[in-house]
Structure 1
């Protein structure tokens, strides 16, 4: 199964429910050339079975924040609430905030309420008592943000799936009344993508959609996991005991369908990996293909080389 130039590995799928595990439905947008693989409103550009990640392009998710607004919640991924979907923000993302006298907090309001990230951005004021973004940019690194004019922060692991809140507020509420603050922007991007000079150059010239922000194509990495064990046939869902979850790998009937696979406990569910010496798709019957033939050949060659080296050192043969 494929869409455009991307293959779609199970447990993901397109079409009827039998083609994917619940929560892993994707769509193929054929209105573009080449067609785009979509997860809700997010464009999928890579799926990794080995890393349990999916890389998406987040369009129209750069939120604008100006001094007409006291504070706002700017989070929206378009794939459903956190606890109901098998996705969570990877720790290989960053929270990016650009602006002056502003702070952002990314959090989750599930059963394990937690703050996942946060940072604050400041700017010096000029003689007219207005915030000077140009001065802040000249004081800071051209590539990264350390709190002057913009800031960036790592994102912690979430125990409840996708974050549900991204609150942005002014640090000094008195500045709100005089309306001297420049525009601020907040978004979440894959670690290493953000370049302050490049993004700053894009923001003023970008078009706006629904007042949300510029149309930057921001990459984001999502972790995924199977939230429950799937039935093997007509049987009830298989259960894994708590003591079993403490081991690194366990047997999970109904998920890891290849006989040469193991099940790994994740934060909220499980994932499948091929056993050592095998590679492929552990979610399919016979999906893990053996590498033992190649491994054995390499080991035999290495052993022969060592034997020849020993014989040479003993002056028993000439090489």
Structure 2
């Protein structure tokens, strides 16, 4: 079995460790005695069961005949008042049959000295057979300054160090944990049945090497129950170790020992099967009915416990008695009528009461008749239905109020955006915001974005594709102009102008719905990137059609505001149309940065009487140059700064028709000549 050694060093604070005072605690294997025969089953009837204030349960007894085979023999010392039981020379404080523990008192080991190095020391030897010092319930403690406590086994070392320079600056405070300042603590190994504590003074030296004697004259070492010791500065100062327990000075400390039946085999025997059922394990020392065997928590051997529902001493016949659970409601609750049974108890609600489940856990309440239950059920159901209907009605009313308030708000926004005027435009469809969200699939297909706003593609219910335009902002100052433009655009019926189908006025910024131009605008076709291989150049025929169509369609759609005079005349839009003609034959934007197409074309035309250098090379073939010259000439007439000298729009349109017919005849003649 493992052997443990504890060394206690008392050293001056300013020197290296050089003086050794060992304190030894060794553990050796307990010697198991042979099993007696026959085993006693109960103590004699005249055996005392107490000694003073301490109960003495069997297998313990006062005298060998009263203990289990004489191995748990105690003596009762009557020199004290009240008497005290002893296990050998060790005082017994308490014995527990249930936990298999016995609490005893053991002296402490101390060493005290003065300036002349006069010293007083005590030694301790403690050994009890069949008992083991509980490793779980005890701990090793050393108290003092410049102290090293070391537990040594055959294959291990463990220990702790305690030091302090002075009581003011470096020692722990009262009730502090023993963490090395004035005291230290460590665990003890398992299976200890022998403790020897002594002081070796052969290499002590003189007091000049140990100045701590002035404030710490004594050092102590002991094994005690965990939690019993709390640090006190007086333990370092007073040579009497003046801790009080009750009305006597503590010169010994409580130690918990583990006991078990160790002379009847190392473990509990296997359980016995009876009537096909495996019973609880039992052993020869467990003589009481309703008891069973459990293995010892430390070392070999076993203990006896009463079965569930029973209490008492399982080591004597009839020692385990039934627990009357009904007298202990805190431990065994019952919300009804409690009835004790052998090893258990019954709990039932009294007549006329019932419980939701087990009345041991749930309270009992008055039992209702079937009619009462039906009435309550109907009442509760009707109440629930009433509140559901009431809640639904309230929710519906609140929803209606909310919808009406929202409708009034939308109507106000709609009126602000000109609905009173625009609702009379029969060709204009007024969409709601929800309808447009559905048409555009929540704006999932963008078509363009710029300074004007955003445009998204959508599809009407009849599969017509549309473009929905959302302007960036329409202020109160520009709202009147916006309404007028919507009225004008809604009346436009021209094949080359996108038709305004409708609008949404129930939003802060109105939304406009146009026909969708699948091939893009004229601007995209004329002024798109030249390296765009996916878009074919616009042919001369197409450009003539656009020019004629635009001229024919401009008569009823002139600009209402003339930038110079502020008056609308029949020639107001002729100038603008002249710019369109230049864009068609030159394929250049009217304004490109600082380059203005009208000024550039006029400058060349005035010099050469032609603007051929500006013609679009995609259509400026040799046979088509004459008609392009005529169109350029017509454009210059339209761009005449003298309004009166400009041709009328009807004249412009008829001239374009004549030019187109002449060009087509020449084209056909040229084709016939080539074929012949």
- The aligned residue for residue 303 of structure 2 is 271
Deviation at 1:271, TM superposition (A): 0.7
- The aligned residue for residue 179 of structure 2 is 146
Residue 119 of structure 1 pairs with residue 187 of structure 2: no
Aligned to 1:61, which of 108, 114, 120? 108
Unaligned 5+ runs, structure 1: 125-131, 208-213, 230-237
Question: For the pair shown, which has the larger CA radius of gyration, 1 or 2?
Answer: 2
Unaligned 5+ runs, structure 2: 1-48, 243-248, 272-278, 325-339, 350-354, 377-676
- The aligned residue for residue 255 of structure 1 is 285
Q: Distance in 1 between matches of 2:55 and 2:308?
A: 24
Deviation at 1:184, TM superposition (A): 1.8
Residue 135 of structure 1 pairs with residue 135 of structure 2: no
Q: Where has structure 1 moved over 6 Å in runs of 4 or more?
A: 65-68, 167-170, 173-177, 241-244
Contact 1:73–1:167 (8 Å) recurs in 2: yes
Aligned to 2:147, which of 87, 102, 107? 102
Residue 27 of structure 1 pairs with residue 59 of structure 2: no
Is the partner of 1:262 in helix, strand or coil?
Answer: strand
Structure with larger RCO (C-alpha < 8 A, sep 6+): 1
Contact 1:105–1:168 (8 Å) recurs in 2: no
**Greater fraction of residues in strand:** 1
- The aligned residue for residue 596 of structure 2 is none
Deviation at 1:167, TM superposition (A): 8.0
Deviation at 1:65, TM superposition (A): 6.9
Deviation at 1:297, TM superposition (A): 3.9
Deviation at 1:205, TM superposition (A): 3.3
- The aligned residue for residue 235 of structure 1 is none
Q: TM-score, normalised by structure 1?
A: 0.70
Cα gap change, 1:134/1:66 in structure 2, threshold over 3 Å: closer, same or farther?
farther
Cα gap change, 1:255/1:57 in structure 2, threshold over 3 Å: closer, same or farther?
same
Deviation at 1:164, TM superposition (A): 3.8
Deviation at 1:220, TM superposition (A): 1.6
- The aligned residue for residue 281 of structure 1 is 313
**Residues 226-249 of structure 1 deviation map (CA, whole Å, 9 limit, x = unaligned):** 1121xxxxxxxx7858988xxxx9
Q: Distance in 1 between matches of 2:72 and 2:233?
A: 34
Is the partner of 1:200 in helix, strand or coil?
Answer: helix
Cα gap change, 1:86/1:265 in structure 2, threshold over 3 Å: closer, same or farther?
same
Contact 1:100–1:133 (8 Å) recurs in 2: no
**Residues 176-205 of structure 1 deviation map (CA, whole Å, 9 limit, x = unaligned):** 993445432111221222121176178423
Residue 87 of structure 1 pairs with residue 117 of structure 2: no
**Greater fraction of residues in helix:** 2
Contact 2:291–2:307 (8 Å) recurs in 1: yes
Q: Distance in 2 between matches of 1:55 and 1:98?
A: 23
User: Cα RMSD between the aligned structures?
Assistant: 4.2
Cα gap change, 1:23/1:65 in structure 2, threshold over 3 Å: closer, same or farther?
farther
Cα gap change, 1:203/1:275 in structure 2, threshold over 3 Å: closer, same or farther?
farther
- The aligned residue for residue 193 of structure 1 is 228
Q: TM-score, normalised by structure 2?
A: 0.35
Deviation at 1:62, TM superposition (A): 3.3
**Residues 45-84 of structure 1 deviation map (CA, whole Å, 9 limit, x = unaligned):** 21111111111222x323327798xxx996522x44xxx3
Cα gap change, 1:107/1:22 in structure 2, threshold over 3 Å: closer, same or farther?
farther
Aligned to 2:323, which of 291, 312, 318? 291
Is the partner of 1:17 in helix, strand or coil?
Answer: helix
Deviation at 1:11, TM superposition (A): 0.8
Q: Distance in 2 between matches of 1:165 and 1:288?
A: 39
**Residues 97-122 of structure 1 deviation map (CA, whole Å, 9 limit, x = unaligned):** 111222223456xxxx5769622112
Deviation at 1:123, TM superposition (A): 2.2
What are the within-5 Å matches in structure 2 for residues 43-58 of structure 1? 43-58=91-106
Contact 1:140–1:146 (8 Å) recurs in 2: no
